[in-house]
Amino acid sequence: MTDHLFRFGAVAGHAPDAGAWTGLARRAESLGYSTLLVPDTLGTLSPFVAAAVAATATTTLRVGTFVLSAANRTPEAVAWETATLHALTDGRFELGLGAGRPDAERDAAALGVGYGTPGRRIERVARTIEAVKDVRVLVAASGTRLLKLAAEKADTVALGLPPHYTEDQVAAKLDELYELAGDRFHDLELSMNLAAAGAEPPSWLSVPAGGTGVLLGTADEMADTLRRRRDRLGVSYVSVNAQYLDEFAPVVERLAGT
């Protein structure tokens, strides 16, 4: 059980032009989403630039990275970008960090930066957290070493688990986080991402029944599922692929801030 209130984020990284991107940001804000989150891949918009543009088009929407590959930038560079966005968004920027997903090594090579071993990348995440100031920090984690760092340093822990993971598997991972965090566990905001949400499963996605990364049903059914998961797992911050922004909006309306 947690006393963290529900909040919701939309994850988006593509737009054909500035009008489409700012329109998406304003739409997310009007529907009650708390954050617009931008991935960090060479196949998507530049996260810092996209976050800045989204912030200029909105007034209450928070913007952030989901998640920045710490291996691709020095801690000092991230701190510089973060301080600028913190100042120019009136404090609406949140920094999401990770040690790099499978395609991040390819991106690092294209950028001409060293990717490093898992241990070195986790060390880079830790150094980056130490370098930044005055912003909420989310760490995406699943392995023990990164979970330990998130337990010690993050404001939000995003569970980087495959969408087919069941609630029992998520609970087992949270048990590990609980042991690592100790007294700090109840201060952590816990987050999970939805690859899809709505009345019907998307044709392109194959996730076994019971997978926590896909939320199906009516708005009331989806809201009930998220309430139950918060009671059982403590997950209160839910992000969703922006492709499902409108389909998921009735759930946001029912739960945000409760």
Query: Which domains are assigned to the chain?
Result: 7-255 (3.20.20.30)
Q: Torsions phi, psi of 71, nearest 5?
A: -70, -20
pLDDT at 209 exceeding the cut of 70: no
User: Average pLDDT of 238-242?
Assistant: 98
* CA–CA dist 85, 18 (Å, integer): 18
| Chain segment 216-232, per-residue pLDDT in tens | 999 999 999 999 999 99
Element (H, E) at 29: helix 18-30
Amino acid found at 249? A
Residue 87, C-beta contacts closer than 8 angstroms, at least 6 positions apart: none
Mean pLDDT of 172-178: 97
Percent of the chain residues topping a pLDDT of 90: 86
Whole-number pLDDT of residue 108:
76
Local structure of residue 160 (DSSP, 8 states):
-
Position 159 pLDDT exceeds 90: yes
Can you tell me the mean pLDDT for 237-251? Answer: 97
The answer to whether the CB of 54 falls within 8 A of the CB of 22 is: yes
**If we measure between CA atoms, which residue out of 1, 116, 111, 123 comes closest to residue 46?**
111
Lowest mean pLDDT among 43-52, 67-76, 207-216: 207-216
Tens digit of each residue's pLDDT (9 = 90 or more) over 11-44? 999 999 999 999 999 999 999 999 999 999 999 9
Supply the pLDDT for residue 105. Answer: 76
Q: Is the pTM of this model over 0.85?
A: yes
pLDDT-based confidence at residue 54 (cuts at 50, 70, 90): very high
Least confident of 18-32, 114-128, 130-144: 114-128
On whether the CB atoms of residues 151 and 188 are closer than 8 A, the answer is yes
Share of the chain above pLDDT 70, in %: 97
